[in-house]
Amino acid sequence: MLTPLADAVRATCGGKAGALGALVRAGLPVPDGFVVPFAAHLAAARDVSTTHGDARPAPTPGNLPPALLDAIAHRLHALGDGPVAVRSSAGDEDGAHASAAGQYRSVLGVRGVEQVADAVRACWTSLRSPQAVAYRDGSGPGAEPVMAVLVQRLVDADVAGVMFTADGPAGVTVVEASWGLGPSVVGGTVTPDAYRVAADGSVTAAIADKRTRVDRRATHLVTGDVAASDRARRTLDDAAVARLARLGRRVAAVLGGPQDVEWAMVDDELHVLQARPVTADLPASARPAQGPSPATLVGTPGSRGTATGAARIVRGPGDFARVRPGDVLVCPWTDPAWTPLLRLAAGVVTETGGVLSHAAIVARERGIPAVLGIPGATTRLHDARTLTVDGTAGTVTTHT
């Protein structure tokens, strides 16, 4: 009914759990856990269909079978009954050509069988969420979606982030990092520190103004302000960045190619939280120190290409109906719920976020130019004005 993480494979436990299972078997530092496999989801769906005459493959929220609850309680006890991370591991997630980055649910910091059961149901239900459906529609036809759920010990990180491992022996490893847990980096709500590790081991760093962080408080995640003295302080020294790069090479060797790795560090100990294939190349890191004119703003190149369209300031779901095909989205950051907008947008501009965030990954998969991390973009740029977004150079130009 449940699968130990060490035994997880993609065919029965999804891409996320399957990759982590391979890393566990190779002896890499992955938090222990277990998987609610595809079979449990399909069985729950059949129970719903039998009870309600509903043939949908995704069950609506309800009670998990008693035997499944008992199995989860047993596994949680074996993990120490502490806080856990409950994360999706869908059949179409973390693939070689489509990542589904951020499209399904993750619930961090839950504790006890009742909260874990609620989180499992949330992951199952997210298989049919509007953003997940829009993402799958944009990826072309595929197999009927199915969901496994990964449950792991939660790492209360001091520092966390994302790493793209080097593509070949002459490649560069790219690391993004910020204080606290990883959702602020993958969700693009903070502009993280960016580190590059060359083939010769040399490290270059671009230190960001990291204003917020996410941490666990009991069974909730809270967003708080970063102390003023830490905002411009390096999250990682060169030695830690080099250790991450070495870990990344081990991950890539086990999984057979360049990887997009989510990681966390606590008490100087590194943990691998996720690894999936890199689905689209990063744009070049070079960007101009300033724009060629006052009408040009400079940010981080997030997804290569150029697009021109009307600026559409989007601060939340209440603005979604205003977006028209060919508009340039200008937003504080992009949430996974905004994925349907990427089917309309010609380009994307954000106030915060790094090149390894979920939104940037999806933009690159969709071939949508994106420029990230332009402070105050939603007030410095004006609605309906014509913009040109150059996601290769990292510039946004307003046309008069």
The closest alpha carbon to 392, from 347, 340, 351, belongs to: 347
User: Is 98 a residue whose pLDDT tops 80?
Assistant: no
Hey, is 21 helix, strand or coil? helix
User: Is 53 a residue whose pLDDT tops 60?
Assistant: no
User: Is 79 a residue whose pLDDT tops 70?
Assistant: yes
Please name the residue ranges forming H helices in 127-266: 130-138, 183-186, 228-231, 238-255
User: Is 127 a residue whose pLDDT tops 60?
Assistant: yes
Catalytic residue among 52, 358, 382, 399: 358
pLDDT tens profile 171-208 = 899 999 999 999 999 999 999 999 999 999 999 999 99
User: Is 169 a residue whose pLDDT tops 80?
Assistant: no
The whole-number pLDDT of residue 397 equals: 96
Q: What pLDDT band is residue 58 in, cutting at 50, 70 and 90? A: very low
Q: What pLDDT band is residue 47 in, cutting at 50, 70 and 90? A: low
Residue 252 identity: A
Other CB atoms within 10 Å distance of the CB of residue 130: 10
Strands of the sheet containing 269-277, edge to edge, are: 203-206, 193-197, 173-179, 159-164, 259-266, 269-277
Annotation says 358 is catalytic? yes
Average pLDDT, the chain: 90
pLDDT tens profile 246-295 = 999 999 999 999 999 999 999 999 999 999 999 888 887 766 667 777 88
pLDDT tens profile 212-257 = 999 999 999 999 999 999 999 999 999 999 999 999 999 999 999 9
pLDDT tens profile 20-40 = 999 999 999 999 999 999 999
User: Is 55 a residue whose pLDDT tops 60?
Assistant: no
Q: How far apart are CA 249 and CA 257, in angstroms?
A: 9
Are residues 363 and 345 in contact, defined by beta-carbon separation less than 8 angstroms?
no
pLDDT tens profile 301-346 = 999 999 999 999 999 989 999 999 999 999 999 877 788 898 899 9
User: Is 145 a residue whose pLDDT tops 50?
Assistant: yes
Q: What is the DSSP letter of 60?
A: P
Q: How far apart are CA 348 and CA 7, in angstroms?
A: 40
